Chain A
Amino acid sequence: MIKYLMKRIAFSIPVLFIIALISFILMYTVPGGPFDKEKKLPPEIKANIEAKYHLDKPIYKQFAIYIYNLVLGDMGPSYKYLGRSVKDILKDTFPVSLQLGLLAFIIPLFIGIPLGIIAAVYRNTFIDKISMFSAVLGITIPHFVLGALLILIFAHSLKIFPPALWEGWSNMILPAITLGIGPTAYIARLTRASILEVLHKDFVKTAFAKGLPYSKIILKHVLKNALTPIISVMGPILAGLVAGSFVVEYIFSIPGMGRYFITAVTDRDYPLIMATTMVYAVLIVIANIVVDVLYKVVDPRVRLE
């Protein structure tokens, strides 16, 4: 297992390098620079700024400097938030997104999977149709609509939860629901399909023939075998949730990292663009490794090579 993990980590280094390279090139091909503003700067001031941030050097040198500093643990200074390093920004914002993402992840885990099981068990009944209708609704409603609706109902009208900000647990509920509903719906549909597939397998028929209790068959035999496709999507879903969401963090005014996926690009804050991209890439890589290990836990027949 250790050998396998080491191998996977070693393989992920060139993957991350290629992601960094492609992101860097794409970033520089987008027109407009970090210091282009409505009020144009005199040439001598622009020259001072470009020298300070090495923007006067050729792009390959800039990339080399970036990678060198990154290896040393320095993600560079933000071009927009002057005097703050990108590392400081991530240190402040990532824990917030992580907290919100983990809270949101509870919803697909504890609501999505049971909902899928119920829909599969009661397939083609009213319960199934209601469950799947809710799931489709959850997938199709965009965050900005759902967030606004929740604020309107629970904050503005009922005054149960605060409409925004990040002061305590009560502030986390509405954004966590907004963030978690989409994945919940997706997981519910996936669980239903996966369970229905397993239900037709011979070993399940045997279990029924043996007269085992229905709940035991579903929870012990069927669910365990239906988990593989669910686990494979849970990893990237978790990575996406903990990396933060621009829309949810913006609507609820949450000081997380998600907003920087968009604002860093509109500001052309190159080091911050690279940092958010790389953090997300690392999270995906980690999630995929964890998923592979979980396959082994769920299904002992899987061999990690």
Chain B
Amino acid sequence: MSILRYFILLAILIIIGCSTKTPSDAGSALRLNISGEPPTLDWTLATDGTSFHVITNLMDGLTAFDKDMNPIPAIAKKWDISNSGKRYTFYLRDDVFWTDGAPVTAYDFEYSWKRLLEPSTAAEYAYFLYDINNAQEYNSGKIKDFSLVGIKAMDKHILVVDLKKPTPYFPSITTFMVTFPLRKDVVERHGSRWTEPENIITNGPFILDKWKHEYKIELKPNKRYYANKPLLDKVEMFMIGEISTALTLYETGGLDIVGIPPIAISHYKDSPEYRNMPMLRNNYYGFNVAKPPFNNAKVRRAFSMAIDRSEFPKILKGGEVPATSWIPKGMLAYNPDVGLKYNPDEAKRLLREAGYPDSKNFPKVIVAFNTNPDNQMVAENLQAQWKRNLNISVELDNQEWKVYLKRLKTDAPAIFRLGWGADFPDPDNFMNLFTTESGNNNTKWSNKRYDKLIELAAIEMDAEKRIKLYNEAQRILCEIDAPIMPIFISAQNVLVKPYVKDYKLNPMDILYLKDVRIEK
């Protein structure tokens, strides 16, 4: 009898429950999906896009990006660059306040940057400040005295930064979250829990109102914000990992903005709600040049020329941009003319010259990639193209991401897949990858001329001269030595409800919400 009574009670609760809460009591609240729990909202420690989506709307730094991804003043109203190009003096606005009413000062930046470089903080992105005098030495523990590091708050409103070498992209670095200011008293008072809503103090357009871990973050407008006040009453950021679930919620009115998977793009392509934009993210297949026959540049070039890159957007259907060059579209020195174009006849000729006429006696080749459905499709397409155009059968091999990364580090396969997304929109962030000393160069390729060009371009303040230097470097990288085969630039694909106004995509995939409004 008691069981029966329990059953009836449960049924009543369920019926009552069904008729009550739904997630969509909107008003001018914006509901979107950030796909997962942000690993941290401590901007000193954050390294990932999800955390960045939230932090970007909570905080402002010295500089910010305009719509073309050029750095413009934010908390710094202006900055001077010394004649040597090595000293930056940032002048801070005096009308910027933290959410508790205290003014944002140069000391908050000094503290934040010191914390980023402290070895005990163990911040992954400490190297963002390695262009600063003695920053790397302080971070590695070689020097203990922070006053020797080239970061100094001269007074409340002046921050002076001394660099090791002229760094034309430094104002881009100061847009990045790890360089945002920090309140020493807040961090010290609350320890690792300082980022929880009841403790956190910020200065950006929104305030962290609620953080239900693994589920949802809620933001509300910051009334003390120094620039234009946000136009939304509330932002709800859901952490929905399964894309089809997020899409169903969008369809049923539970979300206003959602990213869509390639498989769904053809369904929404003609919808006015569909938006697409190429990102500053390039994808490539690299050669391990220590492994024959790929120690021969002619073989590498032949493989690259045997790829018809226009096939990738057709199979992936995500608005990808085919690429033969390494610097992505939308960045200084992007040059689509660079790189090896599709030419199967020339590819065969190169193979013949390399000692493999009609691909005879060509050794067994393994093409490796990390397990992912898109990577699988691309790898199978490459396999078919190389068979068709070169008569070479390659073997595909995929592994789980971390296992794959370990393999690249210890014994990189003959051909392997990787990608790179911009940390800041400057070509140095991409081209630096394949220098001899770069930890991210898995090709084992080394070219002194290339290294020199990258070094010169990094300190060149004249944009035209930089472009020339990068053009030459890209020709070495993608045409002459060809240790890599760039294949396509990734794109973002989202659906936005018609009543969401002024939501603009950008190639860095930064989520700016302060100008967004709802008009129902």
A interface, over-half SS: loop
Within 8 A of B (CB), among A139-170: 148, 151, 155-156, 159-170
Q: How far is the CB of B249 from chain A (nearest CB, A)?
A: 6
The answer to whether B20 and A39 have CB atoms under 8 Å apart is no
Within 8 A of A (CB), among B13-40: 13-14, 16-23, 37, 39-40
Residue B463 is within 8 A (CB to CB) of chain A in the complex: no
Within 8 A of A (CB), among B126-140: 126-127, 130, 136, 139-140
The answer to whether B402 and A45 have CB atoms under 8 Å apart is no
The answer to whether B402 and A266 have CB atoms under 8 Å apart is yes
With contacts A40-B440, A156-B248 known, is A161 near B254, CB below 8 A?
no
Within 8 A of A (CB), among B222-265: 238-242, 244-246, 248-249, 251-252, 254
Within 8 A of A (CB), among B104-126: 119-124, 126
Residue B266 is within 8 A (CB to CB) of chain A in the complex: no
Contact pick for A255, options B39, B212, B440, CB 8 Å? B212
The answer to whether B248 and A31 have CB atoms under 8 Å apart is no
The answer to whether B17 and A169 have CB atoms under 8 Å apart is yes
Distance between Cα atoms of A48 and B121 in the complex (Å): 8
Return chain B residues, CB-CB under 8 Å to A77: 192
Contact pick for B127, options A31, A45, A172, CB 8 Å? A45
The answer to whether B245 and A164 have CB atoms under 8 Å apart is yes
Among the 9-residue stretches A13-21, A82-90, A179-187, A278-286, the one with 4 or more Cβ atoms under 8 Å from chain B is: A82-90
**Size of the chain A interface, CB-CB below 8 angstroms:** 61
Distance between Cα atoms of A82 and B50 in the complex (Å): 13
**Size of the chain B interface, CB-CB below 8 angstroms:** 68
Return chain A residues, CB-CB under 8 Å to B165: none
The answer to whether A250 and B241 have CB atoms under 8 Å apart is yes
Residue A33 is within 8 A (CB to CB) of chain B in the complex: yes
The answer to whether B402 and A268 have CB atoms under 8 Å apart is yes
Contact pick for A259, options B140, B241, B409, CB 8 Å? B241
Contact pick for A165, options B123, B238, B400, CB 8 Å? B238
Return chain A residues, CB-CB under 8 Å to B130: 42
Residue A110 is within 8 A (CB to CB) of chain B in the complex: yes
With contacts A32-B405, A82-B40 known, is A164 near B439, CB below 8 A?
no
Q: How far is the CB of B210 from chain A (nearest CB, A)?
A: 13
The answer to whether B42 and A82 have CB atoms under 8 Å apart is yes
The answer to whether B122 and A51 have CB atoms under 8 Å apart is yes
Residue B492 is within 8 A (CB to CB) of chain A in the complex: no
Within 8 A of B (CB), among A79-102: 80-85, 88-89, 92-93
Residue B273 is within 8 A (CB to CB) of chain A in the complex: no
Distance between Cα atoms of A172 and B18 in the complex (Å): 10
Residue A125 is within 8 A (CB to CB) of chain B in the complex: no
Distance between Cα atoms of A253 and B240 in the complex (Å): 5
Within 8 A of A (CB), among B359-381: none
Residue A196 is within 8 A (CB to CB) of chain B in the complex: no
Return chain A residues, CB-CB under 8 Å to B121: 48
The answer to whether B406 and A32 have CB atoms under 8 Å apart is yes
The answer to whether A253 and B440 have CB atoms under 8 Å apart is no
Residue B418 is within 8 A (CB to CB) of chain A in the complex: yes
Contact pick for A31, options B37, B195, B251, B402, CB 8 Å? B402
The answer to whether A251 and B245 have CB atoms under 8 Å apart is yes
Return chain B residues, CB-CB under 8 Å to A80: 39
With contacts A83-B42, A255-B212 known, is A42 near B402, CB below 8 A?
no
Q: How far is the CB of A177 from chain B (nearest CB, A)?
A: 11
Residue B178 is within 8 A (CB to CB) of chain A in the complex: no
The answer to whether B195 and A83 have CB atoms under 8 Å apart is yes
Return chain B residues, CB-CB under 8 Å to A162: 22-23, 252, 254
Distance between Cα atoms of A117 and B440 in the complex (Å): 64
Residue A210 is within 8 A (CB to CB) of chain B in the complex: no
The answer to whether A169 and B13 have CB atoms under 8 Å apart is yes
Return chain A residues, CB-CB under 8 Å to B420: 38-39
- Give the top 5 A-B pairs by smallest Cβ distance, nearest first: A169-B17, A32-B402, A44-B140, A255-B214, A255-B215
Q: Could you list 26 examples of A-B contacts with CB < 8 Å?
A: A31-B407, A32-B404, A32-B406, A36-B409, A40-B409, A40-B440, A42-B130, A44-B136, A48-B123, A48-B140, A49-B122, A80-B39, A82-B45, A82-B46, A83-B193, A93-B214, A106-B10, A155-B248, A155-B252, A162-B254, A164-B254, A169-B14, A170-B20, A170-B21, A253-B215, A253-B246
Q: A interface vs B, CB < 8 Å?
A: 30-33, 35-45, 47-49, 51-53, 77, 80-85, 88-89, 92-93, 106, 110, 148, 151, 155-156, 159-170, 172-173, 250-253, 255-256, 259, 266, 268
Given A32-B405, A81-B40: 10 more A-B contacts, CB < 8 Å: A38-B420, A41-B127, A49-B124, A52-B122, A80-B39, A83-B192, A83-B195, A162-B22, A255-B215, A268-B402
